[in-house]
Amino acid sequence: MNNKQPLVSIAVCTYNGEKFLIEQLDSLLGQSYRNIEIVVVDDCSKDHTLAILKQYEEKHPNFKVYQNDQNLGYIKNFEKAISLCNGDYIALCDQDDIWDSSKIELQLAGIEDCTLIYHDSEFVDDKGLSLDKKKSDILNMYQGESSVPFLFFNCVSGHACLFNRKLIPYCLPFPQEVFHDRWLAFTAANNGGVTYLNKTLVKYRQHANTDTNILKINKENRKPSTSGYQKMMKILNELSHFSKYPYLKQKDSVEKLYEAYQKWVNSYFCWSLAAFMISNYKLLFFIPKKGGLSNLNFIFKHFFGGKFKHDSSS
């Protein structure tokens, strides 16, 4: 092992993942970049996940396994996994994907002075077969130093990102109300910038039990959708966290959006939120790969205050 190369930690979170775990772990151990440690935190699995992990730990000295005393949920479990990593750079890993062997090597070469780098992913089914669609087919991939594109949307998947450990003091703890990968993208944009590697380096498995079901696989097995009012309050909570982030670069814009959204939630008619969306259209709607009419419809819905949603859900 060449110790002159930076150490890269791969933070893996597991929970009842025995079905796909071996294929994923083998893809991590097969990385062309060799100076890695694999840090796995199991979140109280009830299947054979922990037994599989212990077998790998016994065989590979750079493989470390930790088990939680109580279930944390995947957001806080990733937070714990990151805190246990020793690497100069950290990559996040789900339990059910398959990594390209050059993933870490290419990301490390491409990150340069940015804080976080991410790449494209190919959607595959539960058997690992291609679904003929990539993440970039449905989302525009942002790179830069503005956090505004991440206020409503996200294009950075956790499994696709590698970040400099200097980001840790600026991203932890993760707020429970915001997906950890979106929070990482938001905080990285405020602290050194996000860059995109236009290569497909992960087979992103879509199945009924995955936490993120972007392609709506097996929708009948998913949890019931939330009401309009619940979605509205979720966005408000997210914007609250974003606006209170102490290292904001676009402080004025983010705080104005939060204030406008808060006012909109508590009003029957409120024009300030829609006006803000129109004036910041380019960055706010950079990520969704939708037609202009779809985005304008999103804005149009915000001409009428959130009180209508609240009343209809009562």
Per-residue pLDDT tens for 126-141?
A: 999 999 999 999 999 9
The model carries a pTM of 0.93
Report which residue type is found at 81. A
Residue 199 in this model has a pLDDT that exceeds 50: yes
Mean pLDDT across 229-256: 95
pLDDT in tens, 57-94: 999 999 999 999 999 999 999 999 999 999 999 999 99
Q: What is the pLDDT of residues 15-40, one digit of tens each?
A: 999 999 999 999 999 999 999 999 99
DSSP state of 175: P
From the candidate CATH numbers 3.50.50.60, 1.10.10.10, 3.40.50.620, 3.90.550.10, the one assigned to the domain spanning 8-221: 3.90.550.10
CB 228 within 8 A of CB 309: yes
* Residue 234 contacts residue 306 (beta carbons within 8 Å): no
Average pLDDT over residues 146-150: 98
Q: How far apart are alpha carbons 56 and 27 in whole angstroms?
A: 13
The Cα 299–Cα 255 span in angstroms is: 18
pLDDT value at 2 more than 70: no
Q: Using the CB atoms, write b or e for 115-134: b if 16+ within 10 Å.
A: bbbbbbbbbbebeeeeeebe
d(CA 124, CA 24): 13
So what's the pLDDT on residue 229? 83
Percent of the chain with pLDDT over 70: 91
Question: Among all chains, which residue has been given the structure tokens 């600026």?
Answer: 170
Closest of 3, 9, 1 to residue 164, by C-alpha = 9
| 272 vs 116: which has the higher pLDDT | 116
pLDDT of residue 1: 41
pLDDT of residue 218: 55
Lowest mean pLDDT among 10-24, 109-123, 210-224: 210-224
Q: Does the pLDDT of residue 232 top 50, yes or no?
A: yes
Mean pLDDT of the chain: 92
Q: What angle do CA 157, 259, 176 make, to 5 degrees?
A: 35
For the chain, the domains span 8-221, 228-313
- Full DSSP string of 10-30: EEEEESS-TTTHHHHHHHHHT
Which of 1, 32, 189 is CA-nearest to residue 100? Answer: 32
Predicted confidence at residue 217, as pLDDT, reads 56
- The residue among 111 and 209 whose pLDDT is bigger is 111
pLDDT in tens, 261-298: 999 999 988 889 999 999 999 999 999 998 788 888 88
Mean per-residue pLDDT for 118-122? 98
Task: Using alpha carbons, select from 90, 111, 12, 88 the residue that is nearest to residue 52.
Answer: 12
